[in-house]
Amino acid sequence: MSEVRRDILTDTWVIVQTETTEIPLNHRTPRKPPSVCPFCVGNESQTPSEIFAIRAENTLPNQPGWQVRVVPNKKPVLRIEGELSRVGVGIHDKVSGIGANEVIIETPEHIKSLHTLSAKQISLVLKAYRARIIDLYKDKRFRYVMVFKDYGALAGASTIEHSHSQLIALPATPQQIKSELSGARAYFEYKERCIFCDIIANELEDRSRVILENNLFVVLAPYASRFPFELLVFPKRHAFSFEMVTAEEITNLGEVLKQIMQALYDTLSDPPYNYVLHTAPNLLPQRDYWTTIRDDFHWHLEIIPRIKRTDGFEWGSGFFINPVAPETVASKLKEKL
């Protein structure tokens, strides 16, 4: 089981796994991948029952025939059952550890890197993201669905090498998203324009940080990049939620992602990385202040290669030190496209 605890000083939330007794010492003994890959086609029985799949007609759930498959995480960080409750513990606060934690298996074959999938296959993965967000947002207890991918041990990935991403549905809008929403709202109230649309326009005029542009998407190295080779992928069309992505955008984004991830792989020599989908919170529970958002948020994908370790200064201050200017990043990556 897990508890969701709140730091009363900084309002930071932490999912604490209260049952662990063994201490992970991964800095000493690197973990090994399982001998049989539970995500490969034919091994469907090794995962919990599938929640969603894109599969050939006339094939059965939990049997071969799928192209993308979504299953519950075998060791979920939050549990789906139960009521949301908030209690005091001495001076502290906690809420029950309710949520969902799903794994999106990106291919039936034992392929490790996203960029080696076909653009069409990547589009199917994106389609699965959209389907899961739409479905989970029907549950009022969930305020936010975070879709993300961890690749490589230095990016916090599990030992399963078969290409996959994850999602976590949360009972509260996370702090980082709140900070973006409130920055975007403040800008909108002042200018009556979407801050992301303005950033995109500004960058397309300046060009020094633009890596890729087509009719539907723009890929940027952000002006205040916290990490070397941090990238943002924006749809040109204003839309606050990934739920609103069109079929044409999904096809196009599959191609864009394949190109960009290939360029990162080549330039940084197979870097560990995370990517995170930034989308609007659930609009259903109307009492949440953030769910009134429409014109002031703009969904996007954030890609963070993990080639530099964060140090004590960065953790302590929230100030970041980035040894590679985003303008250098843009020129290096453009060479590979």
Query: Which residues inside 185-214 make contact with its own copies, applying CB under 8 A?
Result: 187, 195, 198-199, 202, 205-206
Nearest to 123 by CA among 23, 24, 49, 217: 217
Site for its own copies in 125-154 (CB under 8 A): 144, 146, 148-150, 152-154
Residue 28 within binding range of its own copies, rule CB under 8 A: yes
Task: Report d(CA 318, CA 194) in Å as an integer.
Answer: 25
- Under a CB-based contact definition with an 8 Å cutoff, are residues 281 and 146 in contact? no
The nearest distance, CB 227 to its own copies, in angstroms, is 9
Member of 5, 69, 143, 258 binding its own copies (CB under 8 A): 5
Cβ nearer to its own copies, comparing 24 with 36: 24
Residue 20 within binding range of its own copies, rule CB under 8 A: yes
Other CB atoms within 10 A of residue 89 CB? 10
Cβ nearer to its own copies, comparing 135 with 314: 314
Residue 168 within binding range of its own copies, rule CB under 8 A: yes
Member of 56, 159, 183, 207 binding its own copies (CB under 8 A): 183
Residue 335 within binding range of its own copies, rule CB under 8 A: no
Site for its own copies in 274-293 (CB under 8 A): 274-276, 278
- Under a CB-based contact definition with an 8 Å cutoff, are residues 271 and 264 in contact? yes
Site for its own copies in 30-69 (CB under 8 A): none
Member of 43, 251, 267, 291 binding its own copies (CB under 8 A): 267
Site for its own copies in 214-243 (CB under 8 A): 222-226, 228
Member of 118, 179, 246, 292 binding its own copies (CB under 8 A): 179
Q: In what order do the strands lie in the sheet with 164-170?
A: 52-55, 66-72, 100-105, 164-170, 144-151, 273-278, 300-305, 231-235, 217-220, 210-213
| Piece in contact with its own copies (CB under 8 A), picked from 210-218, 239-247, 252-260, 273-281 | 273-281
| Piece in contact with its own copies (CB under 8 A), picked from 80-88, 119-127, 245-253, 317-325 | 317-325
Q: In the chain, how long is the greatest CA-to-CA distance?
A: 58
Return the SS3 of 217: strand
Task: Identify the active-site residue in 115, 162, 164, 278.
Answer: 164
| Piece in contact with its own copies (CB under 8 A), picked from 2-10, 41-49, 102-110, 130-138 | 2-10
The nearest distance, CB 38 to its own copies, in angstroms, is 19
Q: How many residues bind its own copies (CB under 8 A)?
A: 98
Residue 49 one-letter amino acid = S
Residue at token pair 């309002």? 11
Contacts of 14 (CB under 8 A, 6+ apart): 4, 5, 6, 7
User: Rg of the chain's alpha carbons, rounded to an integer?
Assistant: 20
The nearest distance, CB 63 to its own copies, in angstroms, is 30
For 242, phi and psi rounded to 5 degrees?
-65, -20
Cβ nearer to its own copies, comparing 275 with 290: 275
Residue 255 within binding range of its own copies, rule CB under 8 A: no
Tokens of 262: 């290939």
Task: Report d(CA 150, CA 163) in Å as an integer.
Answer: 10
* 164 catalytic residue (yes or no): yes
Nearest to 137 by CA among 299, 245, 286, 13: 286
Exposed, middle or buried by CB within 10 Å (0-12, 13-18, 19+), for 113?
Answer: middle
Tokens of 74: 């075998």
Annotated active-site positions, please?
Answer: 164
